[in-house]
């Protein structure tokens, strides 16, 4: 068992045969396993590409997965854990976040030219982080076998060599061809890179693992590395960051069944922070689903317009897909709507981007459900926020009865929204008396910049009970657990599942050999 504090932090890196094979989940599990042993452990991912991000207490933006991993480790998230974050703004460009703040919006070619400078930022971040911890669990990105990207790599083997880290190679059997993907990945690596791989792990297996024994034995002979475990297929109860998540598959409303409330989230092409809706796992009576076509929306009890990294492009998608007109008709039929961040901006009459901050589209008309407009500016608001629901918002509609309730979350946006005709009723107020979000006259349309809006379980329970009353259903008590307690339990269950499936003694030896 790994114990004690060494002069140099222990290191262990998880790389995968492809995106969405379970790297983030495995790193989260390992952080929890070692934290429960009493070891001071931290996560690290040099370069993350994701529209799911988080704001630390210092106001720095990092990948949501690293915030989750830090929480599993029992520590505060820091920008040191994810020094480079890429947030795609269109098919060719990404906003680049370095050390938690906006660096530039770059094309892939421009980004590659910056790699030497960014590599130094990554090295400095890791060195600083490692000084404060006994062990750092490092997550790769995509696959190390992308041979066209090898010269510019600072996320996989390039990073492993930079910090001298041993590597575990993870493959996903759910996709099929797991032995081919493990073998092919290993063989496409250079000899010195192959030496860094200390073992392989198979993820998402259904059934009797003994069935895999002949294949595992042959794979061990072929690459000269042992199998460190077979992880079973299970549904994670924690936030995921990958756009390939099962949660995001569009679905139509079920015919009948147990759920009392139907909540539809519009799946936008530039959907961001869909983890805002993970909290609905606490409410089994709610069917939360994603829709990207008019025919899959149905007539939900609540419609949600989520965050977007490119509000103007996503508004264009809504129009071209027919969703814009369908949503307008649903609103006319009385369906309540909540918009978060970019979705909030869409609820207004106009969205303007005169400086091309997000796109070159200039401006676009919004739904006009709230009498406001939004203008994009170069400055980005990134902060943790606490607000209290105001009297106007709590009089009727979705937030009825929630007056004075405190909500906490975080903001990440470059737009500024304001009323066109005098004062638009704020949804909530901060301690300084400034309004956050907006609400219409009868409380059936709410907009907010607050990510983590629904994580405030007492408020979400009130909101869902107001939806129940509108359907003639009896209210329900709020869940006994807070969402924070639910997440802690989920980390513990994940850790137990993974720890019993891995050869942890072998993993301890791999870490100890590099200390």
Catalytic residue among 31, 79, 227, 341: 341
Backbone angles phi, psi at 331, to 5 degrees: -65, -40
Q: Are 125 and 78 in contact (CB under 8 A)?
A: no
Most distant CA atoms of the chain, gap in Å = 74
Rounded to whole angstroms, what are the CA distances from 47 to 66, 93, 359?
Answer: 11, 16, 23
Q: Looking at residue 209, what DSSP letter applies?
A: G
Backbone angles phi, psi at 79, to 5 degrees: -65, -20
Backbone angles phi, psi at 200, to 5 degrees: -125, 155
Token pair in block for residue 109? 């070619």
Residues across the chain: 515
How far apart are alpha carbons 344 and 374 in whole angstroms?
Answer: 9
Written as one string, the DSSP assignment of 1-52 is ---S--SS-EEEEEEESSTTSSHHHHHHHHHHHHHHTT--EEEE-SEEE-S-
How far apart are alpha carbons 14 and 86 in whole angstroms?
Answer: 20
Beta pairing partners, 41: 135
341 in active site: yes
| Closest C-alpha among 221, 222, 219 to residue 230 | 219
31 in active site: no
How far apart are alpha carbons 457 and 254 in whole angstroms?
Answer: 25
Rounded to whole angstroms, what are the CA distances from 357 to 109, 312, 389?
Answer: 19, 11, 31
Question: What is the radius of gyration, based on Cα positions, of the chain?
Answer: 24
Contacts of 212 (CB under 8 A, 6+ apart): 173, 202, 205, 230
Question: What region, left, alpha or beta, does residue 452 occupy, with left being phi > 0 and alpha being psi -120 to 50 degrees?
Answer: left
How far apart are alpha carbons 303 and 247 in whole angstroms?
Answer: 17
Token pair in block for residue 453? 């809006």
Beta pairing partners, 169: 15, 200
The sign of the dihedral angle between the CA atoms of 310, 316, 321, 327 is: positive
Q: Looking at residue 423, what DSSP letter applies?
A: P
**Element spanning 184, H or E:** helix 178-187
Q: What are the catalytic residues? A: 341, 451
């Amino acid at each position: 068992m790994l114990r004690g504090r060494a002069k140099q932090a222990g290191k262990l890196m998880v790389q995968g045969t492809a995106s969405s094979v379970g790297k983030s989940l495995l790193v989260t599990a390992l952080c929890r396993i070692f934290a429960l042993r009493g070891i001071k452990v931290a996560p690290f991912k040099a370069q993350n590409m994701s529209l799911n991000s988080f704001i630390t207490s210092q106001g720095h933006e990092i990948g949501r997965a690293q915030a989750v991993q830090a929480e599993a480790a029992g520590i505060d998230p820091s920008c040191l854990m994810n020094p480079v974050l890429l947030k795609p703004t269109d098919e060719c460009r990404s906003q680049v976040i370095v050390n938690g703040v906006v660096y530039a919006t770059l094309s892939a070619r421009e980004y590659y030219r910056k790699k030497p400078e960014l590599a130094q930022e990554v090295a400095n971040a890791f060195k600083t982080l490692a000084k404060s911890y006994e062990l750092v669990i490092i997550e790769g990105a995509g696959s190390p076998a992308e041979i066209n990207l090898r010269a510019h790599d600072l996320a996989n083997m390039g990073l492993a060599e930079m910090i001298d880290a041993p590597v575990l190679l993870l493959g996903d059997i759910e996709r099929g061809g797991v032995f081919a993907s493990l073998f092919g990945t290993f063989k496409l690596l250079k000899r010195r890179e192959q030496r860094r791989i200390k073992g392989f792990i198979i993820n998402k297996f259904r059934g009797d693992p003994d069935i895999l024994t002949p294949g595992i034995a042959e794979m061990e002979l072929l690459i000269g590395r042992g199998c460190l475990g077979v992880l079973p297929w299970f549904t994670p109860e924690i936030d995921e960051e990958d756009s390939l998540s099962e949660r995001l598959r569009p679905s139509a409303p079920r015919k009948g069944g147990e759920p009392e409330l139907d909540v539809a989230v519009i799946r936008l092409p530039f959907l961001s922070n869909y983890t805002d809706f993970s909290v609905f796992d606490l409410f089994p009576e709610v069917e939360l689903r994603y829709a990207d076509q008019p025919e899959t929306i149905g007539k939900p009890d609540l419609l949600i317009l989520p965050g977007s990294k490119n509000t103007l492009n996503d508004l264009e998608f809504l129009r071209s897909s027919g969703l814009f007109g369908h949503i307008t008709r649903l609103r006319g039929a009385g369906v309540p709507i909540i918009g978060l961040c970019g979705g909030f901006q869409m609820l207004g009459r106009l969205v303007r981007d005169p400086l091309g901050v997000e796109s070159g589209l200039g401006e676009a008309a919004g739904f006009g459900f709230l009498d406001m407009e939004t203008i994009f500016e170069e400055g980005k608001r990134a902060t943790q926020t606490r607000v209290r629901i105001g009297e106007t918002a709590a009089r009727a509609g979705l937030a009825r009865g929630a007056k004075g309730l405190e909500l906490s979350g975080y903001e990440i946006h470059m737009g500024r929204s304001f009323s066109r005709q005098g004062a638009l009723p704020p949804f909530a107020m901060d301690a300084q008396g400034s309004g956050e979000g907006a609400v219409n006259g009868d409380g059936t349309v709410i907009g907010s910049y607050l990510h983590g809006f629904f994580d405030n379980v007492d408020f979400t329970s009130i909101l869902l009970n107001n939806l129940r009353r509108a359907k003639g259903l009896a209210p329900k008590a709020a869940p006994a657990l807070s969402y924070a307690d639910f997440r802690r339990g989920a980390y513990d269950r994940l850790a137990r599942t993974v720890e019993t499936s891995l050869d942890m003694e072998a993993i301890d030896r791999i870490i100890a050999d590099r200390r």
